[in-house]
Amino acid sequence: MLFDRVLQLKLTDKKSAFLWGARQTGKSTYLKEKFAESIRYDLLKTDLRLRLENKPYLFREEILANHTKQPYPIIVDEIQKVPALLDEIHWLIENTSAQFLLCGSSARKLKRAGSNLLGGRALRYHFFPLVYPEIPNFNLLTALQNGLVPSHYLAEDVQALFESYVVDYLNEEIMIEGLVRHLPSFSRFLDSMGFSHGQLINYSNIARDCGVSANTVENFYQILVDTLLGYFIPPYHKKVKRDIISKTPKFYLFDVGIANYLTRRSVVELRGAAAGHAFEHFILMELLAYNGLCKKRHDITYWRTKTGLEVDFVLNDAEVAIEVKIDRVVHQQDLKGLIAFCEEHHPKKAFVVSQDERPRILTINDKTTIRILPWKEFLDQLWRHDIV
């Protein structure tokens, strides 16, 4: 099945571009479809990578010989594999009319090597796993079970693919690229991190489980972020009346299915705690993907007080509050955190995303109105730019 991806990648004013995204999200397929006539350098090919690592100037010489023959951008896939190519690309951008599309799954190695990231000469785009509007006949249960990495969403035996994904990530992204000194410690971290996925991060507890320092655990989390496998969600901390619990972020992996695998979570039906956690994670990823694919800059935070009142997601400076419930019928007594937030911060919009069959409006008082939306209606409005 081919998916019609939301990303609109446009090169204007002779600009080049980076396209960053986690492994297997469909970056290469997207570029092959959109730029079928382009010259392509795939640095996953060992012989090509070794040749250009040893003699990066060959890339410049080859482009000088070929780029004027066709008007399409030159694609370099997995650019992080050969950081030295960025200097050659920089020179070519400055001295020729060549345009480049540089595709990769991690900028960490480039940053550590002090590599030239083209200093504003290239646009930046971000790719994500599949999102709701890209999938015909979208199946929520399949999404919460398998996740939205394209090959995983379509798979029947997805557990084997999860295991392969994590093992390949450890071997190819972490070990070969030399991102950590001790791979077993990082593997233990992935196991331990799973148990606090989507919750407040406790670096000390995870460090104790892994036998490393809290600083090392913080570095491990940053590796996941830099390799585009996860996101920190900070707390909303504008204080009005109540004390917020802390400044500790939460952490979410980039895909619901991979999170299921690492947390040993099984979603068998659209109800219960496991489905609720996966559903919340899914809605967050839609918000993050909407931000990235549509070039928005909305802040996404969570809100929690010392007494345990909580709102799943707050957009911008309390502009929008969103609570996610897997329930088929949401009741007012289930919304204590959202109601408290609305009374304290007065967001312009407050939503509950649920499995309710039809939209409803809860009027709490003269100043507090909450819209309960079926998840499909919420996502339709989000991608129409009507939520925020």
Supply the angle between the helices 85-95 and 57-66 in degrees, to the nearest 10. Answer: 30
pLDDT of res. 39:
94
Residues 6 or more apart in contact with residue 161 via CB below 8 angstroms: 149, 151, 152, 155
CB 162 within 8 A of CB 266: no
pLDDT of res. 364:
87
Which tokens belong to 250? Answer: 């939460």
Structural domains of the chain ordered from first start = 16-127 (3.40.50.300), 133-383 (no CATH)
- Give residue 209's region: left, alpha or beta (phi > 0; psi -120 to 50): alpha
For residue 363, with 0-12 CB atoms within 10 Å meaning exposed, 13-18 middle and 19 or more buried, which class applies? exposed
pLDDT of res. 115:
62
Sheet holding 40-42, edge to edge: 40-42, 74-77, 100-104, 16-20, 122-126
CB 56 within 8 A of CB 85: yes
Residues 6 or more apart in contact with residue 17 via CB below 8 angstroms: 9, 11, 73, 100, 101, 102, 122, 123, 124, 125
CA dist., res. 128 & res. 285, Å (int) = 9
pLDDT tens string, the chain, 388 residues long: the values are 689 999 999 887 778 999 999 999 999 999 999 999 999 999 999 999 999 999 999 999 999 998 777 788 999 999 999 999 999 999 999 999 999 999 999 888 777 665 667 877 789 999 999 999 999 999 999 999 999 999 999 999 999 999 999 999 988 888 877 778 888 999 999 999 998 999 999 999 999 999 999 999 999 999 999 999 999 999 998 766 666 666 899 999 999 999 999 999 999 999 999 999 999 999 999 999 999 999 999 999 999 998 899 999 999 999 999 999 999 999 999 999 999 999 999 999 999 999 999 999 999 888 889 999 999 999 999 999 999 9
Instruction: Give the DSSP per-residue string, 186-255.
Output: HHHHHHHHHTTTTSB--HHHHHHHHTS-HHHHHHHHHHHHHTTSEEEEPBP---SSSPBS-SPPEEEES-
pLDDT of res. 328:
97
pLDDT of res. 241:
62
pLDDT of res. 10:
87
CA dist., res. 325 & res. 388, Å (int) = 20
pLDDT of res. 286:
99
CB 83 within 8 A of CB 109: yes
CA dist., res. 102 & res. 106, Å (int) = 11
Amino acid at 34: K
pLDDT of res. 243:
65
CB 7 within 8 A of CB 33: no
Nearest to 59 by CA among 96, 28, 114: 96
Amino acid at 65: A
CB 103 within 8 A of CB 28: yes
Classify 175 as helix, strand or coil: helix
Contacts 24+ apart (CB under 8 A), 271-274: 271/326, 271/327, 271/328, 272/326
Task: Report the relative pairing of strands 16-20 and 40-42 from DSSP bridges.
Answer: unpaired
